[in-house]
Structure 1
Amino acid sequence: MKVLLINGSPNGHGCTYTALKEIEKTLRAEGVETEMFYLGNKPISGCMGCRQCYTLGKCVIDDVVNKVMPKAIAADGIIVGSPVHYAAASGQATSFLDRLFYSSAGRLAYKPGAAIVSCRRGGASAAFDQLNKYFTISNMPIVSGNYWNQIHGNTPEEVKQDLEGMQNMRVIGRNMAWLLKCIEAGKNAGIDRPEGEEKIMTNFIR
């Protein structure tokens, strides 16, 4: 079992990284392999809606999105972390996730997903809600904690002082490991994932 952790902060070793590392340590203690991927601090193009990924099988913009896609498909679970910018996920994370999920063509379905957000003070619940929508539109079970998946602090040192937030990161890690083990046990018992239906598209203006 392997979990891919995606650091969507432009600061590679800041507050978001500190929270993700706490989850990573917990996952490894539970026997789950991990890989953390840093998106970097260079601009990431947003989705152009060209739909070329439908025929190419990957995004037409050949950058970090196409680099991460095989890792996401191979992973058993995915955790996305982002700082809060204007009560939303970072620009890098938003552009990246828009294109990753759009070009995935359903290949991330049924992988447990978790989102965590890091903020100095406010806007966490709005950013958390934004990130969860990528999972809920993609047939992905959401991994929760014992509070909303957020951490507070303006520096990594301050984040570590958020004892409740750090505890919640560990709870998320244990819950992710537990769900992955349950899915694996189900597979071994012959329980397959739900049978899908052909997608119905209903336009409200016809």
Structure 2
Amino acid sequence: MKVMLVNGSPHKYGCTNRALEEVARALEADGVEAEIFWIGAEPQGGCVACGACGKTGDCAFGEVVNEFRARAAEADGFVFGAPVHYAHAASSLLGFMDRLFYSNGRAGRPNVLAHKPAAAVASARRAGTTASLDDINKFFTISQMPIVSSFYWNNVHGATPADVERDEEGLSVMRQLGHNMAWMLKCIEAGRAAGVEPVAEPRAWTNFIR
């Protein structure tokens, strides 16, 4: 089993990475492989609805998105982490996720996200973490991805990684999140071994006026 942890911060080794490292350690202690994937320091724009992914299966503007989606096919679960900017999740992560989730499963490509557990992690100096978690969690709830939680909201506090080291409660939340993710993955594996699989409901498309 493998979990991919997405570092959506422009700083590769900043506070968000430190939080994800703690989740990864707990996963690995429970026998689950963990890999941190950094989206990079370049700005990540959102989806422009160009329709290219519907023809090719790839995002026309996203080498990083396309690389991650290819690697995500081998993952069993995901953690998406972001710093808080202006009381919301960093726009680079949200832009990355916009294009990842919109292009996923198009043009005959396999859906590499559905039914795989996911979790959101936020890092802030002070405030805005719960709003940021809500930003990220909405991607999961529209994509049939079970959400993994901890015993508190999945956030850490600090202006530097050294500050995060002093956030004992925040780091314990990260460890519990890793343990809970490992437990859910093992439950899903046991269910599949017993013949339990998701049921697909035919999709109906409407809007608010017809």
Q: Does 1:152 align with 2:152?
A: no
Give distance in 2, aligned partners of 1:50 and 1:145: 38
Partner of 1:204: 208
Query: Structure 2 matches for 1:39-50, cutoff 5 A?
Result: 39-50=39-50
Q: Give per-residue Cα distances to partners, 1:102-153, cap 9 Å, x unaligned.
A: 1113431000000000000011110010000010000000000001111111
Give distance in 1, aligned partners of 2:91 and 2:121: 15
Give distance in 2, aligned partners of 1:143 and 1:132: 10
Q: Shift of the alpha carbon at 1:199?
A: 1.5
Q: Which runs of 5+ in 2 are unaligned?
A: 106-110
- When normalised by structure 1's length, the TM-score is 0.96
Partner of 1:27: 27
Q: Shift of the alpha carbon at 1:30?
A: 0.5
Give distance in 2, aligned partners of 1:104 and 1:202: 21
Query: Structure 2 matches for 1:65-144, cutoff 5 A?
Result: 65-105=65-105, 106-144=111-149
Give distance in 1, aligned partners of 2:140 and 2:87: 19
The alignment partner of 1:143 has SS state of coil
Give distance in 2, aligned partners of 1:91 and 1:62: 15
Q: Does 1:63 align with 2:63?
A: yes
Give distance in 1, aligned partners of 2:46 and 2:80: 17
Give distance in 1, aligned partners of 2:74 and 2:59: 17
Q: Shift of the alpha carbon at 1:205?
A: 2.9
Contact 2:62 2:99 in 1 (8 A): no
- When normalised by structure 2's length, the TM-score is 0.95
Q: Runs (4+) of structure 1 moved beyond 6 Å?
A: none
- Please provide the CA RMSD for this pair: 1.0
Q: Give per-residue Cα distances to partners, 1:45-88, cap 9 Å, x unaligned.
A: 32111122122112122411001001122200010000000111
Q: Percent identity?
A: 52
Partner of 1:5: 5
Contact 2:69 2:112 in 1 (8 A): no
Give the count of matched residue pairs: 205
The alignment partner of 2:54 has SS state of helix
Give distance in 2, aligned partners of 1:159 and 1:17: 10
Q: Shift of the alpha carbon at 1:183?
A: 0.5
Question: Which residue, out of 161, 165, 170, partners 1:165?
Answer: 170
Change (3 A) 1:18 1:62: closer
